[in-house]
Structure formats: C-alpha cells, structure tokens
C-alpha cells in the first residue's frame, strides 16, 4: 500500500538512484543525514515514511540485541563449552539480515526526501504533472525549514548542466508520459 501523496513512480525511481549510489559508494554519512532534525520533521509529515523510519529503528535495536547476545554466547562458550559457540552462526545470520533491512529503510527514507525535493523544485516536470503534490511537498519542506536542494545536491550535483544530466533525468526522474528535453 502506498500511503503518501508522493507519486509511486517518482519514489521508485529515486529509490533506484539512491540504492545504486550507496551500493557503489557505501552508506557513508547517510544515517546521520537522515537523522538530522529537519529531515526527521519532513519524514514525520509523511505517514508511510514515518512507518519506514520506525521499521529502521526497530532493526537497529534488534541488531544491538544480537551483538549483546553474541558477546554473551562468547563468554558462555569459553567458560562452559565450546559447543555453545555454534549459537553464533544463527546470531550472525540474523544480524546480517537486520542490517540489510536497516540499510533498505535508509535508502527508502533518502528516496522519500529526494522525491520531496524533486516535486518541490519541479525537476524533470514532476511539479507540473502533479501540482497539488508539489504544493504539499513545498509545504513540508518549508515547515521543516529545510533548504530545498540538500538531497538534490547529493544525488544530482550537476542537474543544472542540461547536457550532463539529460540521460539521467530521462531514466530516473522524468515522468513516463512526459518529454524532458
């Protein structure tokens, strides 16, 4: 279920862009950027994004529990029996799955924030195609006192150079039924 005013097509394209960038370059400072006050306020304004953020926080807490249980298993294994150390295998598998969930939620939140900025700035014609959604995106970004280009600057740094970004805009940003350039 898509419980947001942001068009699903735009969010999907932004998710692909964000995921591709971070799979290539790593997470870097993405968790810290998403956790900034103005970004959290924008996320809280969108119910589906807020639910995603809660899922990411839950995965983070469960990962910490896995680490604590791993330390306990190590202590018990070396104290009582080395066979106890076999419990580290399912703990490690669970921790890695939770890490994947946590990274996916970070990508989804970054995609939501990028989508908001694309709508508000009318990049690729999205604002013209969805004027009511554009007004809502502008309202959310203004109410959070956020500069309307922080995420755009990260994922589309040369967007003003029409030649450099024409292909990227066609593939990732422009609505399917609208000509970009």
All structural domains of the chain with their residue ranges? 8-173
Q: How many CB atoms lie within 10 A of CB 36?
A: 13
pTM exceeds 0.95: no
Taking only the tens place, the pLDDT of each residue in 60-75 is 999 999 999 999 999 9
Q: In whole angstroms, what separates CA 25 from the centre of its chain?
A: 15
**CB-based burial of residue 73 (10 Å sphere; 0-12 exposed, 13-18 middle, 19+ buried)?**
middle
Q: Is the pLDDT of residue 181 over 50?
A: no
Paired tokens of 49: 């994004």
Cβ atoms 33, 44 nearer than 8 A:
no
Q: DSSP string covering 74-103, please? A: HHHHHHT-GGGGGGHHHHHHHHHHHHHHHH
Confidence of residue 95 (pLDDT cuts 50, 70, 90): very high
Rounded CA-CA distance 86/49 in Å is 38
Render pLDDT for 16-58 as a digit per residue (tens, 0 to 9): 999 988 988 888 889 999 988 888 988 888 888 888 999 999 9
| Residue pLDDT, tens place only, 129-149 | 998 998 998 888 875 555 567
The candidate with the shortest Cα–Cα distance to 156, out of 33, 18, 19, is 18
DSSP 169: I
């Amino acid at each position: 279920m898509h419980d947001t005013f942001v068009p699903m097509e735009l969010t999907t394209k932004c998710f692909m862009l964000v995921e591709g960038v971070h799979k290539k370059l790593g997470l870097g400072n993405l968790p810290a950027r998403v956790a900034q006050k103005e970004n959290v306020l924008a996320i809280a304004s969108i119910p589906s994004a807020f639910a995603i953020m809660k899922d990411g926080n839950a995965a983070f807490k469960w990962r910490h529990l896995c680490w604590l249980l791993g330390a306990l298993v190590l202590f018990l294994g070396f104290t009582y029996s080395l066979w106890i150390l076999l419990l580290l295998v399912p703990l490690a598998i669970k921790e890695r799955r939770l890490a994947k969930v946590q990274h996916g939620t970070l990508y989804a939140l970054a995609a939501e924030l990028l989508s908001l900025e694309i709508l508000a700035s009318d990049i690729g014609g999205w604002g013209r195609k969805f004027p009511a959604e554009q007004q809502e995106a502008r309202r959310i970004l203004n109410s959070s006192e956020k500069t309307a280009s922080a995420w755009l600057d990260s994922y589309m740094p040369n967007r003003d150079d029409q030649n450099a970004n024409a292909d990227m805009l066609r593939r990732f940003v422009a609505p399917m039924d609208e000509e970009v350039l």
